[in-house]
Homo-oligomer: A and B are copies of this chain.
Amino acid sequence: MAYPRKLRMGLVGGAGGFIGQVHRMAAALDGEIELVCGAFSSSPEKSRAAGQALYLPPERVYASYREMLAREQARTDGMDFVAIVTPNYLHAEIAMAALRAGFHVLCEKPMTTDLAAAEQMARAVAETGRHFCLMHNYSGYPMVKEARERIRSGAIGDIRKVLVEYPQGWLAGDFASAGVKHQSWKLDPELSGGSCCLGDIGTHAFHLTEYVTGLRVTELCADLSAFVDYKPLEDDANLLLHFENGARGILYASQVSINDENSLSFRIYGSKGGLEWHQEEPNTLIAKWPDRPRETVRTGSGNAYLGKTALGATRIPAGHPEGFVEAFANIYLEFARAVREHAAGKTSAAYDFPSVADGLREVAFIKAAWDSQRSRTEKWLPFPA
């Protein structure tokens, strides 16, 4: 490891919402990273209050991310990287400023809401040579990695069919009473970049699909709907997918699936077997075979039958549930490894965290879904025909 010390993290955003807290917990979990500074809110008072609650020294709680970048650059013990957990429309500007100030960046998804901005970010990463990690935390789960490794090794043969779902129900109920006001920018067509459901959760499903299968989507056909009062933003999305190898798929994301919490799942069928995973029971992977019983593959440090990647991503023995924060922390750990190697002048061929290229792809995905919705209006066959 490059430094005999914890890595130093600065945080932009995180005073409201729950995702900032998740980042702090995930970064702290493994003792590799310490939060040293932050610009926690666009309101200086809120930022100050947040920093105090986190026991940060007042001089490292900043009124703006620009101030933070400038001041931390000047310190000998300044931060090593910036984590960005602001509303989506601010990601690009902050990330590019941080990269150009010499910091590595870890950024919440979706990377941005605009394809041109996404391309600029990709160029900024290339030009600065800094690491950029996009927080698709679901790819941090051990059983997701196990599925990926099995598919890579050919265990289920050629992939034929992929079903990815991400139903939630929180938008179906009464908005105010659900206490989700802090997310109101998600429902502002301007700030959200013209997409709600796809940007918020569809991108997770899309990234997970390509991550696990190792296959790229080559064509899609979308049916987007707005059932509740946030039109024109879609709150439900049904997509048919074609993959590069000829596989077929369905991707479904929804925010109006009442009582569904955060039910991301995949089912993947190949010529030799199948795999199924549900985020709400993340420590189980179901393996399906044509001629023998299905298996309940379980994560846990003692399960010697697991692949190396999954074993490396689990902390405790089977039956001691690892959850959302642990998966999140796996992304942080791999990012920290990259940052330490960078400081030591090394670079690995490939780090196992989502990259700026993944981010570019997800922004294109949102755009393509809306383009399909708008330009392929003749796809519907009246029935009875």
> Smallest CB–CB gap between A331 and chain B, Å?
15
Min CB distance A383 to B, Å, is 5
CB neighbours (8 Å) of A320 from chain B are: 22, 261-262, 323-324
A361: Cβ under 8 A from any B Cβ: yes
**Copies of the polypeptide in the assembly:** 4
B321 touches A316 (CB 8 A): no
The segment from A39-47, A84-92, A365-373 that touches chain B is A365-373
User: Are B379's CB and A367's CB within 8 A?
Assistant: no
The segment from A73-81, A106-114, A250-258 that touches chain B is A250-258
Closest to A7 in B: B55
B376 touches A218 (CB 8 A): no
The 5 closest A-B pairs by CB, nearest first: A261-B319, A262-B319, A259-B288, A379-B379, A323-B323
Interface size on A, residues (CB 8 A): 114
Binds B, one of A94-102, A187-195, A274-282, A337-345: A274-282
Q: How far is the CA of A223 from the CA of B258 in the complex (A)?
A: 28
A-B contact pairs, 7 of them (CB 8 A): A160-B236, A168-B319, A258-B288, A258-B289, A259-B274, A262-B320, A364-B384
A238/B242 contact (C-beta < 8 A), A29-B25, A261-B319, A295-B295 known: no
Instruction: Evaluate contact between B316 and A291: CB separation under 8 angstroms.
Output: no
Where the two chains meet, the residues of A that have a C-beta atom closer than 8 Å to any C-beta of B are: 4-6, 18, 21-22, 24-25, 28-31, 35, 52, 54-55, 156, 160-161, 163, 168-170, 172-174, 177-180, 217-223, 225, 227, 236, 238, 240, 242, 248-250, 252, 254, 256-263, 267, 269-274, 279-283, 287-298, 300-302, 304-305, 315-326, 361, 364-365, 367-368, 371-372, 375-376, 378-385
Q: Please give the distance in Å from A204's CB to the nearest CB on chain B.
A: 12
